[in-house]
Amino acid sequence: MEIFITLLILVAVLVIPNIKVVPQARTYVLERLGSYSQTWQHGLHFKIPFVDRIANTVTLKEIVKDFAPQPVITKDNVTMQIDTVVYYQITDAKLYTYGVEHPISAIENLTATTLRNLIGELELDQTLTSRDIINSKMRSILDEATDPWGIKVNRVEVKNIIPPRDIQEAMEKQMRAERERREKILQAEGEKKSNILIAEGEKESAILRAEAKKEAQIREAEGEAEAILKLKTAEAEGIKLLKEAKADNAVLTLKSFEALTNVANGQSTKIIVPSDLQNIATISTTISEMFKKEK
């Protein structure tokens, strides 16, 4: 009985620790007698005691690694600090385990050297404006270099570019001057548009005043013409009535005298006296005597 219990305990000690459950998105690299045996995927597995050994546990998730800033020198000899973020994923657990010693450190050093090589071909202004180009080239170079390590580099991002302090101050002054220049341009364009609008308003106002004056003059001229026309029409009607009444020379002479009186009452400085003034006076006397007889 004791022997049976001892065997059960021995089996439990030897078997239970060697039963392994691999979780999702992870793999185990198994060695047998010191050599690579197989890669366990997720699920239940059993290893032989004292013969098999789990050499490495590898995650299949995408890993994000933020590396410390690296000093780099541009083509125009400006030293700056650049830090990068690398997004990579392990695609082959065996190559990752046996391909390179300390793979994370290897990726960091490879990233630093690649970054120095790329920045060394660019000037300061190009470095500041070519992040997409730098990211694309670094990803391509790193992905190709890490293939033998079972690593796929999905993306590389330049996180920060920190130029020297004096360069930063010069850039800030340049940006300030550029903003002031744009402000002055916008202000000048605003004043120009304002002056144009004012001039157009004055032009339209002058045109309207001229048209109003022209219209007034036309109306005034039409009024005068209409008055003259009515006056002439009245005179013509008067003459017509006189002719129809068969007025004699005395009446006509009296009408001439009335016209002369109206001229004298006017504001004219010159008075034209007819040559037959004596006849007019005689006619006037005759008319006066006729009025006295009637009375």
User: Are 148 and 99 a contacting pair, CB within 8 Å?
Assistant: yes
* Two structure tokens written together for 185: 């341009």
Among the residue ranges 49-58, 174-183, 186-195, the one predicted with the least confidence is: 174-183
3-state secondary structure of 187: helix
Residue 82 has pLDDT above 50, yes or no: yes
Quote the crossing angle between the two packed helices 165-245 and 249-265, to the nearest 10°: 150
Residue 59 has what pLDDT? 92
Query: pTM for the whole thing?
Result: 0.56
Residue 268 has what pLDDT? 47
Residue 291 has what pLDDT? 43
Q: Which residues contact 116 (CB under 8 A, 6 or more apart)?
A: 70, 72, 73
* Two structure tokens written together for 139: 């990803």
User: How are beta strands 70-73 and 43-46 bridged, if at all?
Assistant: unpaired
| CB neighbours of residue 111 within 10 Å | 23
d(CA 171, CA 164): 11
Q: What percent of the chain has pLDDT over 90?
A: 24
Tens-digit pLDDT profile for residues 230-276: 777 877 776 677 666 655 555 555 555 555 555 455 454 544 445 55
Element (H, E) at 106: helix 103-119
Residue 158 has pLDDT above 50, yes or no: yes
Q: What percent of the chain has pLDDT over 70?
A: 80
Instruction: Enumerate the CATH 3.30.479.30 domain ranges in the chain, comma separated.
Output: 62-163
Residue 287 has what pLDDT? 46
| CB neighbours of residue 80 within 10 Å | 21
Residue 73's closest CA among 118, 35, 41?
Answer: 118
Domain 62-163 grouped into CATH 3.30.479.30: yes
| Region of residue 102 (left: phi > 0; alpha: psi -120 to 50; beta: else) | left
User: Are 26 and 56 a contacting pair, CB within 8 Å?
Assistant: no
Q: What is the mean pLDDT of residues 90-100?
A: 91
CA 151-89-86 angle, to 5 degrees, is 90
Residue 48's closest CA among 94, 21, 15?
Answer: 15
User: How are beta strands 43-46 and 52-59 bridged, if at all?
Assistant: unpaired
Residue 163 has pLDDT above 50, yes or no: yes
Residue 245 CA neighbour count, 13 Å, CB half: 11
Tens-digit pLDDT profile for residues 274-291: 555 445 445 445 544 544
Q: What is the mean pLDDT of residues 42-62?
A: 90
Residue 126 has what pLDDT? 84
